[in-house]
């Protein structure tokens, strides 16, 4: 399992892309997707919602459990991935690509986001 170098990571296992025009893409990591098992339902925030770093902004249901989705940064939702709402298995098959969850216009970010290497060490340790 390899975590893309260009992304940053939260300890709640979300990834965050480099902002383009202030907007970052967010998803959950492959490590998290594997731990959940087959994802069958995702509930995402709505476009226009304000999410707050570290707070719940949705949920992911798998066969065995339901998990909170945490916002890795604070900001306004600009887009949600309708494909993953329609086919939640994208979270498992392509967590870093087609399984992205939402885009957010970042207004604030916590200081403890991890680099790819730090996140890999965090999940192995």
Partner 1 sequence: MSSTESTAVRRTALDALHRSLGATMTDFAGWDMPLRYGSERDEHTAVRTRAGLFDLSHMGEITVSGPQAAALLNFALVGDLAAVGVGRARYTMICRADGGILDDLIVYRLAETEYMVVANASNAQVVLDALVERSAGFDAEVRDDRDAYALIAVQGPQSSGILKSLTDADLDGLKYYAGLPGAVAGVPALIARTGYTGEDGFELFVKPEHAVELWQALTEAGEGAGLVPCGLSCRDTLRLEAGMPLYGHELSTSLTPFDAGLGRVVKFQKEGDFVGREALAAAAGRAEEKPPRVLVGLVAEGRRVPRAGYAVVAGGEVIGEVTSGAPSPTLGRPIAMAYVDAAHAAPGTRGVGVDIRGAHEPYEVVALPFYRREK
* CB nearer partner 1, residue 22 or residue 37: 37
Residue 35 CB, shortest distance to partner 1, in Å, is: 8
Burial 4-17 (b: 16+ CB within 10 A, else e): eeebbbbbbbbbbb
Q: Is 92 exposed, middle or buried (CB count within 10 Å of its CB: 0-12, 13-18, 19+)?
A: middle
Query: Does residue 61 bind partner 1 (CB under 8 A)?
Result: yes
Site pattern 1..30 for partner 1 (x: CB under 8 A): ------------------------------
Name the site residues for partner 1 (rule: CB under 8 A): 34, 37-38, 40-41, 43, 61, 63-66, 92
């Amino acid at each position: 399992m390899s975590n893309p170098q260009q992304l940053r990571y939260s300890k709640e296992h979300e990834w965050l892309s480099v902002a383009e025009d202030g907007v970052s893409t967010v998803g959950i990591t492959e490590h998290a997707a594997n731990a959940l098992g087959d994802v069958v339902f995702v509930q995402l925030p709505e476009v226009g919602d304000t999410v707050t770093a570290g707070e719940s902004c949705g949920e992911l249901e798998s066969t065995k459990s339901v998990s909170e989705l945490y916002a890795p940064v604070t900001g306004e939702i600009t887009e949600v991935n309708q494909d993953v709402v329609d086919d939640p298995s994208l979270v498992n098959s392509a967590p870093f690509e087609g399984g992205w969850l939402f885009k957010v216009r970042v207004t604030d970010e916590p200081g403890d986001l991890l680099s790819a290497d730090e996140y890999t060490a965090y999940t192995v340790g």
